[in-house]
Amino acid sequence: MDRLRGKTALITGAEGGLGNVIAGRFLAEGATVLGLDVLEAPRPGSILAGANAYYASVDITDENAVSAAVDAFVRDHSRPNVLVNTAGVLGPAKPGYMSTSEEFDFVFSVNVKGTWAVSKATVPHMIEAGGGSIINFSSIAGLVEEPRRWRFITLPRGRCG
């Protein structure tokens, strides 16, 4: 249960289902975890309120806010060895041709630009620490066409190309 002792992980979408499960597993394996999420604070009883867990409320579409959160964590704790990008949004459940440019921009901004912004802020610290790993979560929906799931296509294709 100590496979990640001495490692530090930054996890986006850390209060969501997948992000929270991953944060819990990393903590159980001995890692220090910085959870990023758009919520103002961790949910009551959250795994991110425990030992070796830290939380930053940040909108990942805001490049400056992301950089500030990552830099503050590095300054106060340590450089991340692992970045796990799980944050994402679905957008409206309607065919793409019926969506507004604002709806598309929101989904793309979170699912693609947000992943880029967090990676951009984190990678220089990983390089300084001698390397690291980035894990981008996605969906098979980017490979399977579903008329009412246009919003999902931007996530897998934009993250994993």
For residue 57, what pLDDT is reported?
A: 97
What CATH architecture is 8-160?
Answer: 3-Layer(aba) Sandwich (3.40)
Q: What is the pLDDT of residues 14-43, one digit of tens each?
A: 999 999 999 999 999 999 999 999 999 999
For residue 107, what pLDDT is reported?
A: 86
Which are the contacts of 150, defined by CB distance < 8 A and separation ≥ 6?
Answer: 91, 95, 96, 99
For residue 93, what pLDDT is reported?
A: 79
Say what the pTM is: 0.89
Residues of the chain with pLDDT under 50: none
For residue 160, what pLDDT is reported?
A: 59
Q: Please, where are the H alpha helices in the chain?
A: 17-28, 63-76, 101-108, 114-128, 150-160
Q: Would you kindly state where each structural domain of the chain is located, as residue ranges?
A: 8-160
Cβ of 86: how many Cβ atoms within 10 Å? 23
Average of per-residue pLDDT values in the chain? 88
